[in-house]
Each structure stands twice: as C-alpha cells, then as structure tokens.
Structure 1
Amino acid sequence: MKIAVLPGDGIGPEVTREAVRVIEALHLPGLEMADAPVGGAAYKQHGHPLPAATLDLARGSDAILFGAVGDPDCDSLERALRPEQAILGLRRELTLFANLRPARMFAGLEDASGLKPEIARAIDLVIVRELNGDVYFGEKGMRTTADGRREGYDVMSYAEDEVRRIAHVAFRAAQGRAKRVCSVDKANVLETSQLWRDVVIETAREYPDVALEHMYVDNAAMQLVRNPGQFDVVVTGNLFGDILSDQASMCVGSIGMLASASLGERQTAFGTFGLYEPIHGSAPDIAGKGLANPMATILSAAMLLRHSLGLEGQAARIEAAVGRALADGIRGGDLGGQHGTAEIGDAVLARL
C-alpha cells in the first residue's frame, strides 16, 4: 500500500504531520508513505504548483493525503501558476470527479455550532459534489464589449454523462445510509441545472430503494440552517457544492472539522483511488504557530483508509478516537479551545 503525502502550504504541513502520525500508529504492514511538494511550496522550488514528479508520485500511489494550498506570495502570479491550480490539476489529471464531504455533529460539540443544540444534534449528512465540470472548468476570460466596457465571463456547462456518473455515486452512498438523496440545482433559471435534474431523475430509476427529492440551491442553503437533520445525501454541482459544504462545516461547529474524499473510477488492489483533504484552506495567518486544528485532516486519513485501502476497522478506530478526544474537551482555537496542533494529535493518539 502506497500513500502520496502532499502537505502543501500554510498550515498544510502542520495538520498533515498529525494525520501521518495517526496512520503510522496503526502499524499497517506493507504501508509506504512518500512526500512531495505541491502548491506555492512547489512553485518556489520548481516553478510550477504541480511539478511532473509530484504528479507521477500521485499516479503511482493507491491514495493521496493532501494538506492545503494557498500562499499570499503567489497572488500576483498568472492564474495557471497559482497554488490553487495544483488541486484543480490533480482532480483533472487523475479524473477525480466525485467529492464526498461528510458533516456530522460530534457529541459535545453542539455549543460550537451557530445553530440551536437540538437542531445541530441532528446533523448527519454527506454532500456529494461533482468536481470536473461547471464554471470551474468551463471557458472563461476577460473581454471588451462593443461599447468599451470590461466584461468577465465563465461558462457553466455539464454533459449528461458527467451528471450521470456523479448521480450513481450519490445513490450508491445513500444505499449505505438512510436511502435518501436530495439533488440540489437551480433548474428554474439555468439550462445546465435543467439537464442536471433530468439526468438525475433518469438515473434514479435504477435505485428504486432510494427516495429522491429536488431542491433549488437557495432553498437548500436556507434548509441547512433551518432543519439540517432532513438531509441524508446531497448531490450537486461543483459551484453549489463548494458553497454548501462550507456552510455545512459551520453548522457542525468549524471548517476545521470537515474531511473530504475526491474519488474517480480507478480501482486499486485495495479499493477506489482517491485524494483526501480537509476542506479548509492554508490559513497563512496562523501558519507555523502550531494553532491549527488537525482533526479534519485526521478524519480525512480515516476516509483514505476506508475508501482506498479497504480498512474499515482502522478507519472507525480513528473516528472514534477523534470523537472521544472532543468529548473529553480537546478543542482547537476554531472551536473555542486552547489546544494546539500537536496537543490535539497527541490526544487522538492516546485515545487510539
């Protein structure tokens, strides 16, 4: 088993280090982990945010553990060389089209949520976000109109096969949960969303045991804070999924608590090849200070073990250790606590 470890920028190396410590503590036979630079760190070393050697390491691995990318020093670079292009490039080059973002309220964290405790306590959902289409990958640019005004444009589009494959992921995920899928779109305004809705309905016929409902994205955003317990699996496009998953993270207390898995169709000897990362950014304002909460990265490592290495038991052990640490009052600054990055890692290891 081989894991490519890509720590990235800012707090990425700090939180990734703690996740690696947790994986190492499991003493898995035959496991290899290899590091490589990515993002701003890679640009400063090699002149590109996703060097060929890093991409080769990722391709040759069973899974990728990813930290975070983003460096203010690189903000003035042309878009193709900015750190964020590394994660977009990995998704594109490795055909990682399905992003799974679980949001679950851990016992004892209700007070960290902006929602009433009785509402927050019911949160247990997964957002399935399509990653390879939408405005993020559509034609884009700047132009001048006939009357001399500057105009920016980004093309939103989806082909039916792109929608169908992400719908299958959502329906299969629901079969292992509460058998409910909510497809989020804006079909009352966007033709792209109308196609999305039509294809999801067609795909649903193959899953008669799963209940399907549809919701416009503006209503979905409202319902996430009004009654998040109504959701089981939410499937949506790249742009809407990006926004809603960040909103869901604050419903459970902090963006520092949400893990994610980006999966494709490639199968390894152990499971599905994927990239695993916390959904938070590089947080350059606290980088190097040992203040970042590594729990989202540790939970991402658990998802890696489950989906790419087929190690459900070990994944569940890590999640239980995180839950017990939280129940015992171990919290980072993002949750109103005073525990540092290494302290949180130590606490999870002790309970593992």
Structure 2
Amino acid sequence: MANPKLLILAGDGLGPEVMREARRILDWLHKRRGVSFDVEEDLVGGAAYDAHGVPLADSTMAKAQAADAVLLGAVGGPKWDSLPFAVKPERGLLRLRKELQLFANLRPALCFDALAEASTLKYEVVAGLDVMIVRELTGGIYFGEPRGIETLPDGQRRGINTQVYTTEEIRRVGRVAFELARKRGGKLCSVEKANVMESGVLWREEITKLGAEEFPDIALSHMYADNCAMQLVRNPKQFDVIVTDNLFGDILSDAAAMLTGSLGMLPSASLGAADAQGRRKAMYEPVHGSAPDIAGKGIANPIATILSLAMALRYSFDLSREADRIEKAVSAVLDGGLRTADIMQPGKARISTSTMGDAIVREMEQSLAAG
C-alpha cells in the first residue's frame, strides 16, 4: 500500500523553526519505528505571497486536497501588514479551512504536571487538567449574512453581523464532540446562550436530540457561555469535552489555553466530514501564531508543533501508540526541568528550540529501548 500523504506548510515567522523539530520526529518514526509518510513541503502565508503574489497558490491548495493531513506552522508578520486584505497571509489559512471544509476545531487544554505552577491559577486548580474544546469553525457570526457596515439616513453608521446556524451544521460538529467524549471521559458539555439567542435555542435542541438518538451513553449537560467562561477559571477540571459555536469557541478556547501556562504548549486539529471509508480532511497546527518578535532567534518552543503532529498521528493515521510515545516524551522532558524561554521557571534549565527537539527525540529513543 502507498504511504499516507502529509503536506507540511511551515509558513512564516517562527513556523520554519518549530517545523524543523517536528520533521525530526517524523524522521525518527521512519528510522526507528518503520512509520513512513509521503511528505511534501510548500509555502503558505507571507512566504507564499513573496513567491507567488498570493497567500496560497492554487497548486498548493491542490496538494492539500490530495493529502491525508496538513501540518501547518504559522502565518503572518509585520512585513505583510500593509498588504490588501484579500492577499494578507491569514487569507491563505482561511482558504485552507474553507476549501477543505474543516468545520470542527479541536483545542485540547492539557496541563502537564511539571508546568502546573506556571499557570496564573493556583496549582491545585490546574494540575492534571485535560479538557478538549470542540469549536464549530465554518459557520456562525463570522460567516453569517447579512453583514457589513452601512450609513443610516440620519448619518449614523451601523455594523451588522448575523449569527446563523442550520440543523446540519450543529449536528455534524456535535457528532464529532460526542464521539470524542465516548473515547475520553464520557461527558459532554454543550455551550451556547439559549437564554437570549434563538440560534442558541436551536443549538441546545439539536444537540439534545442528537445525544438521545445516537449517544445515549454520553452524559450530556448544557451551560451558558458566560457561565462557562467563569467555570473555566473557577473549576476547569469539571469539564471533559466542551462543544460550542464559532464565536464562543474562539473566546473559550483561548481562555482555556492560558490555564496551561503558555500558548507555546498547545496544539490544535481542524477536521472535516468523514468519507465513506471514515477518513477526514484534516489540518493540524500550533495555537501560538508566527511570533515575529522571536523568530530566527532559536528560542521558540517547538512543543505545540510536535504535539500537533501527535494529534495528526492519532486522528488521521490511526497511530495512537506513536502519538502516546511523543506525548510521554514531552512530559518526561518537562519533568526533567528543561524549558524554553516561554515556559521558563526558577531553578529550571533554559534551552534553545533545537535542544528541546534533541531532548524529546532522546526521550523517545529511551522509551523504545525500555520497551
């Protein structure tokens, strides 16, 4: 059988630096575990604009459509801030999401024990935290019509955005969340504002119906978005899987991210619909962005990108054992006191991007030797 296809788009800023460390993990898996991929690399974002005059070339989009998964670094930076909106680096990322029809964004908020003290919350609140937020990615107020800015007869201006969801949009992202809950702790909390928004009423009704029809084994609860934001900083470990819409998911996932101590630690996955064989279009990327202020200095944290690769192994390639190996290696390195600048703590050893990659590969090698 042909090897699965992986498209790597390192992008801008620190993207190429952190992606190099993920490539080292791929090389190790090939040499030591016999796990092989047909890997292609291409440009996205500002790098693509510099080469092609667009933030994502049609040929690159075709490669993404043909790939089993896309691993992306980061896009954007001040070099391209003055570009017209239609060709800004971020438009390349949005085109990938739209044309691959990636409607479910998975954002794990996992606090490694060694970093619990780095959180702004108390140690006992975040130690052992493991929450998955599933955000609907292609609907809601960011895409609803009508939208725009208009001038009223009296000269005032009015901005309009429309929050809109259909039954199928709600049920398909709900199904992803229920399935994740079934593989995790068996609990799903659905979040909306059904007390003041008709779209929230529909969301709650459809998630409830879906649970009763297809997932009666999952403990389903509902929560208003403002209360969920409060509960995430009050008692985040009450949650297992959270499913919510595009706007609330954008806000809540960033709040949950900071519970873990650093954006440099957090991976994400964006998934499309399953085909007849159960395969999904998918893109995996770190949450942290291009961070141009530290790009090229060798101090970036590659862990979020490496953990994004682990998510790809788990969700796109059915290689959970190898994903576990990566995640355990990261945990062991942190337990050993090694830190990049963003997660530095008193008494720990500050190391570079490549040294962190060295340490993770070394831990994986040791775990293999130990059986």
Q: TM-score range by the shorter chain?
A: over 0.9
Question: For residues 204 and 136 of structure 1, what CA distance do their matches in structure 2 show?
Answer: 26
Quick check: 1:248 aligned with 2:256? yes
Write the letter of the residue equivalent to 1:143. Answer: E
- How far off its partner does 1:30 sit? 4.1
Question: For residues 353 and 165 of structure 2, what CA distance do their matches in structure 1 show?
Answer: 40
Match of 2:220 in 1: 212
Secondary structure of residue in 2 paired with 1:314: helix
Quick check: 1:349 aligned with 2:361? yes
Quick check: 1:12 aligned with 2:15? yes
Specify whether residues 150 and 195 from structure 1 end up closer, same or farther in structure 2 by C-alpha distance, changes over 3 A only: same
Match of 2:368 in 1: none
Match of 1:77 among 72, 77, 83: 83
Write the letter of the residue equivalent to 2:328. Answer: A
Question: For residues 8 and 44 of structure 1, what CA distance do their matches in structure 2 show?
Answer: 11
Match of 2:98 in 1: 92
Match of 2:165 in 1: 158
Match of 1:275 in 2: 283
Match of 1:197 in 2: 204
Specify whether residues 124 and 30 from structure 1 end up closer, same or farther in structure 2 by C-alpha distance, changes over 3 A only: closer
Match of 1:172 among 165, 168, 179: 179
- How far off its partner does 1:48 sit? 1.1
Question: For residues 269 and 301 of structure 1, what CA distance do their matches in structure 2 show?
Answer: 22
Could you give the per-residue CA deviations for residues 110-135 of structure 1, whole angstroms, max 9, x where no partner exists? 11111111111141110011111112
- Within a 5 Å distance, the mapping from 1:119-138 to structure 2 comes to 119-138=125-144
Question: For residues 146 and 270 of structure 1, what CA distance do their matches in structure 2 show?
Answer: 54
Whether contact under 8 Å (2:29, 2:35) holds in the other structure is no
TM-score for both structures, normalised by structure 2: 0.91
Structure 2, unaligned stretches of length 5 or more?
365-371
Secondary structure of residue in 1 paired with 2:82: coil
Question: For residues 55 and 91 of structure 1, what CA distance do their matches in structure 2 show?
Answer: 11
Question: For residues 234 and 139 of structure 2, what CA distance do their matches in structure 1 show?
Answer: 29
Whether contact under 8 Å (1:9, 1:71) holds in the other structure is yes
Could you give the per-residue CA deviations for residues 301-336 of structure 1, whole angstroms, max 9, x where no partner exists? 001111111111111111111111111112111112
Match of 1:234 in 2: 242
Secondary structure of residue in 2 paired with 1:18: helix
Question: For residues 268 and 75 of structure 1, what CA distance do their matches in structure 2 show?
Answer: 42
Question: For residues 77 and 155 of structure 1, what CA distance do their matches in structure 2 show?
Answer: 27
- How far off its partner does 1:152 sit? 2.7
Could you give the per-residue CA deviations for residues 228-268 of structure 1, whole angstroms, max 9, x where no partner exists? 00000000011111111111111011111111111112459
Match of 2:273 in 1: 265
Could you give the per-residue CA deviations for residues 203-235 of structure 1, whole angstroms, max 9, x where no partner exists? 110211111111111111111110000000000
Specify whether residues 79 and 55 from structure 1 end up closer, same or farther in structure 2 by C-alpha distance, changes over 3 A only: same
- How far off its partner does 1:50 sit? 1.6
Specify whether residues 138 and 78 from structure 1 end up closer, same or farther in structure 2 by C-alpha distance, changes over 3 A only: farther
- Within a 5 Å distance, the mapping from 1:326-345 to structure 2 comes to 326-336=334-344, 338-345=350-357
Please identify, of 234-243 and 26-35, the stretch whose mean Cα deviation from structure 2 is larger: 26-35
Match of 1:323 in 2: 331
Task: Choose 1 or 2 for highest CA Rg.
Answer: 2
Question: For residues 39 and 91 of structure 2, what CA distance do their matches in structure 1 show?
Answer: 24
Please identify, of 133-142 and 341-350, the stretch whose mean Cα deviation from structure 2 is larger: 133-142
- How far off its partner does 1:271 sit? 4.6
Question: For residues 40 and 147 of structure 1, what CA distance do their matches in structure 2 show?
Answer: 42
Secondary structure of residue in 2 paired with 1:282: coil
Match of 1:148 in 2: 155
Write the letter of the residue equivalent to 2:21. Answer: E
Write the letter of the residue equivalent to 2:317. Answer: L
Structure 1, unaligned stretches of length 5 or more?
none
Whether contact under 8 Å (2:310, 2:323) holds in the other structure is yes
- How far off its partner does 1:76 sit? 2.7
Could you give the per-residue CA deviations for residues 91-110 of structure 1, whole angstroms, max 9, x where no partner exists? 11011111111111212111
Secondary structure of residue in 2 paired with 1:109: helix
Match of 2:109 among 103, 110, 132: 103
What is the aligned-residue identity percentage?
53
Secondary structure of residue in 1 paired with 2:338: coil
Secondary structure of residue in 1 paired with 2:138: coil
Question: For residues 239 and 68 of structure 2, what CA distance do their matches in structure 1 show?
Answer: 31
TM-score for both structures, normalised by structure 1: 0.96
- Report the number of matched residues: 352
